[in-house]
Structure 1
Amino acid sequence: MSRETIFFLHTLKDLEGALPLGNGLYLNGDFNAVQQYILDGKPIEGVIRFFAGYAGWDHGQLAKEIKENSWLIGKAGKETLLNQHFRDLWHTSLNEMGGKYAIWARYPQYPSLN
């Protein structure tokens, strides 16, 4: 895990170097241009969300973990990813997936206290 790297999701379709993720959402791009965008007083809320740090995997490790169902994979909505408070993001994402995942979202944090 590294906390020295910043990633950002955004809706700035013309940002040079941005990786399109689909549904009008992009990953990273020209960080200097993003800094200038912010300094120019343009809107950030609902447009850009920054993430500090990342976790890394050995070659093939993530694919193996996905195959073993160690990860939940779903399509998160752009509005959720850009606007949801970070403390509620997991809960909201599970609810959006529906079914058993929505039940998981309502599971108490400390079930032994029930």
Structure 2
Amino acid sequence: MISRLEPTLGRLLISEPFLMDPNFKRSVILITEHQEEGTVGFILNHSSTLSLKDVIPGLPEANFPVYLGGPVETDTIHFLHRCPDLISDGQEVVKGIYWGGNFETLKVLIQNHQIDEDDIKFFIGYSGWGQSQLNMEMKTNTWIVSDQFHPDVVFSNNEENLWREVIINLGPKYAHVSNFPQDPNLN
């Protein structure tokens, strides 16, 4: 598979079907930062067994799911949202989707039940690539890059089918890839 798009801010990285790295198997990653020094993104479809209340003390009713954003700095929490009118200081990644923001305000919004699970997604850790590392992976066809997605994809809780749906959305050239088995040895 050859992707014509370059990875950049606001695009999706979609793992090729036979990538067996457990950190990135069948991953869909939103790129939130892309500079010469490196790239940062969050895996949208790898859930953890944790809820936000498990990782942030003082939020006993915060039942928001927490996703595994990637294998880097897994002792940190990050969030994507589409509520810039409620959460200030977030960085717009792609039209209508923001990374981070005022965490103290967010905690108050959560405590007062003023933010909906469909408008925010939390992550432990992130995915990161050093200078030219992602370019090397692109040359070995590890990733497909897409800018064709609806913002709802970012906030989807359907992690089981998200990879497949994003692949199908790329069009007929890639649709057949969505049916590849997860383990080709079982075919």
Unpaired runs of at least 5, structure 2: 1-71
- Which of 64, 78, 86 aligns to 2:151? It is 78
Describe the SS at the equivalent of 2:152. Answer: helix
Query: Could you tell me how far apart the structure 2 residues matched to 1:24 and 1:55 are?
Result: 22
> TM-score, normalised on structure 2?
0.53
Aligned Cα RMSD in Å? Answer: 2.0
Instruction: Provide the residue aligned with 2:75 in structure 1.
Output: 4
Pairwise CA distance, 1:104 = 1.3
Deviations 1:46-68 (A, max 9, x none): 10011211132222322443455
Describe the SS at the equivalent of 2:117. Answer: coil
Letter in 2 for 1:22: V
Query: Could you tell me how far apart the structure 2 residues matched to 1:63 and 1:17 are?
Result: 30
Paired residues of 1:80 and 1:92 also in contact (CA < 8 A): no
Higher RCO, 1 vs 2 (CA within 8 Å, ≥6 residues apart) = 2
Instruction: Provide the residue aligned with 1:87 in structure 2.
Output: 160
Which consecutive aligned stretches of 4+ in structure 1 deviate over 4 angstroms post-superposition?
Answer: none
Instruction: Provide the residue aligned with 2:22 in structure 1.
Output: none
Task: Please give the residue correspondences for 1:101-112 in structure 2 after superposition, counting only pairs within 5 Å.
Answer: 101-112=174-185
Task: Please give the residue correspondences for 1:18-37 in structure 2 after superposition, counting only pairs within 5 Å.
Answer: 18-37=90-109
> TM-score, normalised on structure 1?
0.81
Structure having the higher strand fraction is 2
Unpaired runs of at least 5, structure 1: none
- Equivalenced residues, count: 114
The percentage of aligned residue pairs carrying the same residue is: 32
- Which of 129, 137, 158 aligns to 1:57? It is 129
